[in-house]
Each structure stands twice: as C-alpha cells, then as structure tokens.
Structure 1
Amino acid sequence: MSEISKASADAIEAARQGEQFAIILAAIQAAQTVQPHQPPAPPAPQHQAVEQAGKWLAIAVGGSMLMITVAFAAVALAIAAASIALVAVVVYGIYRDIRKR
C-alpha cells in the first residue's frame, strides 16, 4: 500500500470517527434537553463526622466510668462480706465462751 492510499484510508477513518463523535454528542445533548437537569445533591456537612466522634468519645468515657464504679462496688462488697464473716466468727466465739460457763 502506498503512502497516499494509506493516508487516504486514515482520513476516511477519521471522518467516520468524527461523524460517530458528532452523533454521540447530539444524543447526549438530546437526552439532556429531554430530561430536566437536576441540581447536584448538597454536600454532606463536614462537622457531622466531628459530632459522631464526640458522641462515641462520650459513650466510651461514660462506659469506662461505669466499669470503674462497678469495680469499686465489687471491692466494697467483698470487704463488707469479709467484715461480716469476721464479726460472725467473733460473736460465735463469744457465744461459745458464755455458754460453757
């Protein structure tokens, strides 16, 4: 194939592609005129993520404080139970001593 015929074939192909591009562009423009243009959705507020983080931070702090409170209550209950057991043993010992006499 000579260079002239090759260039001619390339020119014909480019013209066809140009016609296809024009048809595609016309179809897009027709679709835009048929369907009314919808405004883009408003962007999400940026401070929403900060509010979410603050909410979860408050939940975490509140949960931690609750768990610390439960732990202290459990320790206090254990001390109270040990104290009651010790008092019961002492009172029983006193009762046995009095009963022997």
Structure 2
Amino acid sequence: MSDIEKASAEAVEAARQGDQFAMMLAAIQAAKESQPAPCQHHQAPAVGGSAGKWVAIGIGGSFLAVSLAVSVVAFAIGAVALTVCVVVLRSVWADFAANRKD
C-alpha cells in the first residue's frame, strides 16, 4: 500500500469519525432542547369560581340531606318495630307465667 493510499484511507476514516461525532453532538443538542425549561413565573391563585362548581355542591348537599333523612326515618321505623316486639313478647311472657302458676 502506497503512502497516498494509506493517507487516503486515514482521511476517509477521519471523515467517518467526524460524521459520527457530529451526529452525537446533534443528538445531545436535540435532547437538551426537548427538555422543558423550568417555570420561572408565579401563577396567582384562581379567584372566584364557576357556577357549575356551586351547582354541583348544591346537588351533592341535597343528596346528602335526603339520604340522611331517609336514614333517620329507617332508624325510627326500626325503633318502633322493636318496641312493639318487646311489648308483645312481654304480654306473651306474662300470659305464660300466669298459666304456669295455675
């Protein structure tokens, strides 16, 4: 291999390495640009609200109130049923005790 061919091969190899180096630098630069920059401004808290939020709160509160009322009514019905059951059992027990003594 002559000196010219050797130099030519080295020049081709150097160019290939230079292209690879340029591609690596471009990839690094693209990665840096794709990262979001940190936020530098301060956002003020939202003032006021939309009417939809208040309508939703009202509807939710209404459902809560209705469910609470139904629960209280169910508890009252259970208490009345228990009381009637106790009174009937007391009467039956009194009749049983009276018949047992005779």
* Cα distance in 1 between the residues matched to 2:74 and 2:85: 16
The equivalent position to 2:54 in structure 1, one of 28, 49, 53, is 49
Could you state the TM-score of these two structures normalised by the residue count of structure 2? 0.53
Per-residue deviation, 1:46: 2.0
> What whole-Å deviation, never above 9, does each CA across 1:32-57 have from its counterpart, x for those lacking one?
xxxx8x79x58633211000000000
* Cα distance in 2 between the residues matched to 1:61 and 1:50: 17
Name the residue aligned to 2:66.
Answer: 61
CA-atom RMSD in angstroms: 2.4
Matches within 5 A, 1:2-13: none
Tell me the secondary structure at the aligned position of residue 51 of structure 1: helix
Is 2:93 the counterpart of 1:88? yes
> What whole-Å deviation, never above 9, does each CA across 1:30-81 have from its counterpart, x for those lacking one?
xxxxxx8x79x58633211000000000010000000000000010010000
Tell me the secondary structure at the aligned position of residue 77 of structure 2: helix
- How many residue pairs get matched? 61
Structure 1 unpaired stretches of 5+: 1-35
* Cα distance in 2 between the residues matched to 1:49 and 1:76: 41
